[in-house]
Amino acid sequence: QVQLVESGGGLVQAGGSLRLSCAASGRIFSINTMGWYRQAPGKQRDVVATMANSGGTKYADSVKGRFTISRDNAKNTVYLQMNSLKPEDTGVYYCYYHNAETSDYWGQGTQVTVSA
């Protein structure tokens, strides 16, 4: 089992910044991918950014140039720095952990609200 604990969501005005953190604990495999998905009201959960333990990253087109994902492998923690936030970035952000040997795991979600 893997537990994911997120923090850092909140309310911010358009153009502002937030930083999300997600700490993983439990049965962590050294080769893994962690990242962030978001779900807006009435919409499906979509990928925002992911990062492999090797450093490879992927971003949704809508956040490229504004969001930066990073991780501290020693702490099993992944971060999402969100700059130039837009109202359309509003949603519940879920931390994600993937390893080929186990099931995927999700955090409980943290709300991000961007006001116009």
Looking at residue 78, its pLDDT comes to 97
What secondary structure does DSSP assign to 43-94, as a single string?
S-EEEEEEEETTS-EEE-GGGTTTEEEEEEGGGTEEEEEE-S--GGG-EEEE
Query: What is the residue type of 19?
Result: R
For 72, the 3-state DSSP assignment is strand
pLDDT in tens, 63-116: 999 999 999 999 999 999 999 999 999 999 999 999 988 889 999 999 999 999
pLDDT of residue 56: 95
